[in-house]
Amino acid sequence: MFLRAIIARITLLPAFTRPCPGKARGLNRDMSTRKNNNMQRRSLSTLVLIVIVTLMAGCKPITAPPVLSAANPNVIDSHLHYFDFTQQTDGFGALVQAMDAAHIGRAVVFGMPIVKMWPESEPIRPAYYLDTDAPAYYYSATDLLMANQLLQQPPEVQARFFPFLGGINPLDQNAADYLEMVIASYPPGFWRGIGEIMSRHDDLTAFTYGEPPRADHPALMKVYQLAARHHLPVLIHHNISSASQRDPIYLPELERAVAANPDTTFIWAHVGISRRVDVPTLLTELRRLLATYPNLNVDISWVVYPDYINRDDASLQAWAEVIEEFPDRFLIGSDKVGRWKGYTDMIRQYDTLLNRLSPETAAAIAGGNLLKLLGQP
């Protein structure tokens, strides 16, 4: 824009540089012409300089582009399911293409620990947990399927992913032993975290066989202890409330788990929000939790971003202030589920928030915080 403005103004200059009228002839005319031309060149140079200085004085400061606007290896999708609810996927090849198109360098990737059944009574095969009324069940093989496909990729592709494992029944006190076996079955350092553990999840909880899970269940307490021993962060989905209650009735369960395991790093998925959970005091509760528990982090993926954070300008500003208060505790993610259509739109929605934050905080939540949690340089 700056150069175009200069050029536009220079096109107006010929009116100032036409030869002056005169009746000189021969040598006198040539000398006069050369003198006039020299004066005109100096005038032209002076005018161009004036135009440039004037334009520069009126230009707004050049600001850095949004964090997600540049291909940056430290911009990380911190929440991505490799499979959908029937363990189907578009694959790593298509995923890398989608990440490149969105300028995402790396991603945390994990399977889907719950499978949605396709019983004879349902006319369609579900891909999402709300597609039909069919029940669902916990599915451990998701970890092995995802890991084996990742290990088949070229080294440069493998290096772009941080695999988590979480194919457990959160009610089964054998869960920690299963995770220990899977960790030991892969190269040291292959698994970078545990999750997404499915605790309370409104409709999905209702669809899934067994009693409702909770974050402070004895089975999960063993998992948190294992995570601390292996220095692995735990990503857990635990709704702050139910679909019909506006008070945070399930928050004490999460708080007890976090308080009882100070050596475990927790990532609270979606800040405890799902499609039908509405808690007006969410931001107040979050500020209190972050101030109380230094081992608690949050990812702001899925519906919490459009429904709470970016609902309107006032909400965006309020959340930005809390993020600036705790700049090392927030993560972003796409929460895509096995299919990568719309990936760019999903991950680029955070531009609005990132542009509201200081450059240092924006870089931190766009990837720096996750790298610190993983001990990654």
Place of tokens 């499979």: 83
What distance in Å separates the CA atoms of residue 10 and residue 306, rounded to the nearest whole number? 47
What distance in Å separates the CA atoms of residue 36 and residue 24, rounded to the nearest whole number? 12
pLDDT tens string for the chain (377 positions)? 322 332 233 233 333 333 333 333 343 434 444 444 444 444 444 433 433 333 333 433 333 334 444 445 678 999 999 999 999 999 999 999 999 999 999 999 999 999 999 999 999 999 888 899 999 999 999 999 999 999 999 999 999 999 999 999 999 999 999 999 999 999 999 999 999 999 999 888 878 888 899 999 999 999 999 999 999 999 999 999 999 999 999 999 999 999 999 999 999 999 999 988 999 999 999 999 999 999 999 999 999 999 999 999 999 999 999 999 999 999 999 999 999 999 999 999 999 999 999 999 999 999 999 999 999 87
DSSP for residue 208:
B
Assign domain 69-373 to its CATH superfamily.
Metal-dependent hydrolases (3.20.20.140)
Q: Name the 3-class secondary structure at 102.
A: coil
Helices (H) and strands (E) in the chain, counts: 17, 10
For the chain, strand residue ranges (E) read 72-77, 104-109, 114-116, 136-138, 161-165, 193-198, 234-237, 266-269, 296-299, 330-331
Q: How far are the Cα atoms of 10, 56, 63, 206, 339 from residue 53, in angstroms, in the given order?
A: 13, 5, 20, 67, 52
| Half-sphere exposure of residue 78: CA atoms within 13 angstroms, side-chain side | 32
2 CA to centre of own chain: 33
Task: Report the greatest alpha carbon distance in the chain.
Answer: 108
Q: How far are the Cα atoms of 79, 254, 293, 323 from residue 352, in angstroms, in the given order?
A: 19, 30, 28, 14
pLDDT of residue 72: 59
With beta carbons less than 8 A apart as the criterion, state whether 237 and 197 touch. Answer: yes
Q: Are strands 266-269 and 234-237 parallel, antiparallel or unpaired?
A: parallel
| Token digits of residue 226 | 């294992």
pLDDT of residue 204: 84
The pTM of the full predicted model, rounded to 2 decimals, is 0.81
Q: Concatenated DSSP letters for 259-327?
A: HH-TTS-EEEEGGG--TT---TTHHHHHHHHHHH-TTEEEE--TTHIIIIITSSHHHHHHHHHHHHHST
